[in-house]
Each structure stands twice: as structure tokens, then as C-alpha cells.
Structure 1
Amino acid sequence: MRVSREVPVGLIPHPNELDRKRIERALISRKHYRYVSPSVTPVKAGYLIKSPCCSRNIHNDGGQIDVALFHYDAVSGIWKLFFKHHARGSWKFYSIFHRLASAIDELNTDPERLFWQ
């Protein structure tokens, strides 16, 4: 007996190319570090945002740094947004969102300046 491992119609698992491009396009609207070109990389159940460090606060040579991590929890159907604690080298939980668009908006606004440093 063959077991089907197909995803039900209408469900696109994360990561996927459609949402990766959607995040990439949305980052153009960010409030901070608008003069750099961030990258969006698929990771298990989400997306990693990296960007050149123009402030030299974290990377003295202006190299690529981790900015944010979107993680989709398929069980609860929520998005978790994390920021990088660069001094410790670890990800820190920021907030949950019911929609990816809301999580992207928060990243773009970055009211506490935790992401775009």
C-alpha cells in the first residue's frame, strides 16, 4: 500500500518561494537601514533575514549579520518572530503573529530597534 505524502490542496508549507519573495519585496518598506540590501533565506519552517551591518555596531567590517527569524508553527498556525542577540550569539523571542504580513510590518517598523542595528 502506498501512502501519499502530498500536501493538501491550498496549503503551502513553509518555507516556500512565494512567501520568501513576498518578504523580500516587503523589506523595501522598512524604516531603518534602507540603503542596504537584505537577503531572505529559507530555513526549516521559516525564513532567515540577513543584512550588511552598516552601523559597524555588530560587525566591524560591515559584513552580513542575522537580522530576524520568522518561524511558522504549523500546529498553532502562528508566526513567531525572533531577533538576534548578537553579544550572546543567540536568537531571542520577540512576539507572535497570526499573519505573516503583520510580522513583516513589525520587522519593518522595528519600534524598539532590536532588529535593524
Structure 2
Amino acid sequence: MAATMLGMSMGGKAQPNDLDKRRVERALKTRRRYRYVEPAVQPVPGGYRIESACCSRNIDPDGGIVDIALLLFDEEQGQWDLFRKDHGKGLWAWDCRHARLSAVLDVLTFDEHRKFWQ
């Protein structure tokens, strides 16, 4: 098998991976809110955490780095879960689930109700 020849495990975790990380990074460049800050995409077990400088000062008056979103892939269901940060409680709040990463990224980059880019 090609994957075995490349030293990859056939039973390995699908996320995070470099290809999808780059897809997330590219999608974030098309977002509608706070385009003048550069968010960072951090790999986490099962997906990606997005963080950015708090330029609105709504969450961090000093403009420090804050969590924006958490994208986790459910391998059993083959679905992506998107979470937003409830900064008041310091917890991740589930927002939506989609089969395709591109659909989750559309929700995140459009963010009509400012649930992510606060």
C-alpha cells in the first residue's frame, strides 16, 4: 500500500493534518470581520483551534490573543463540529455541525451575528 510505503499508518487519525490546516488558513483570509488582524490556526487533537488578537477590545481590553473558534472532526460520524468561545464562562459553546469542512468554514468566515469574531 502507498500509505504504508510512505511510513503512514492506515489506522491513523484524520485530523489534524497539514492540508486541512492550510485550507482553514486560506478560508480565514476571506472572512468579513476584523480583516486587519492575522489569526493563527493551532492544531489540536481532532481538529484546529483559531486564535487572534482581540482588536475590538470587547473581550480583552489590552488587545491580547483570544480564542475565536474550535473545529473538531468526529471520525465516527464523518462530521465537523464548530464551537465558538463563550468568553464570559471561559467555555467552548457548540455552534453547528456539517459534513464538509468548507461548510463549517463558510459559517466561520461569514459570521453574520458576530458569534466568533467579537
Match of 1:103 in 2: 104
Match of 1:58 in 2: 59
Identity across matched positions, percent: 46
Unmatched segments (≥5 aa) in structure 1: none
| Alignment partners' CA distance in 2, 1:12 and 1:88 | 30
1:6 matched to 2:9: yes
Question: Post-superposition shift, 1:22?
Answer: 1.1
Match of 2:23 in 1: 22
Q: Report the TM-score, using the length of structure 2 for normalisation.
A: 0.90
Match of 2:95 in 1: 94
Letter in 2 for 1:85: D
Give me the CA root mean square deviation: 1.7
Match of 1:72 in 2: 73
Question: Post-superposition shift, 1:21?
Answer: 1.1
Letter in 1 for 2:20: D
State the aligned residue count.
Answer: 112
SS in 1 for 2:29: helix
Q: Does the Cα contact within 8 Å between 2:29 and 2:35 map onto a contact in 1?
A: yes
| Alignment partners' CA distance in 2, 1:72 and 1:12 | 10
Unmatched segments (≥5 aa) in structure 2: none
Alignment of 1:34-49 (within 5 A): 34-49=35-50
| Alignment partners' CA distance in 1, 2:19 and 2:72 | 16
Runs of at least 4 residues off by over 6 Å? none
Question: Post-superposition shift, 1:12?
Answer: 7.0
Letter in 1 for 2:117: W
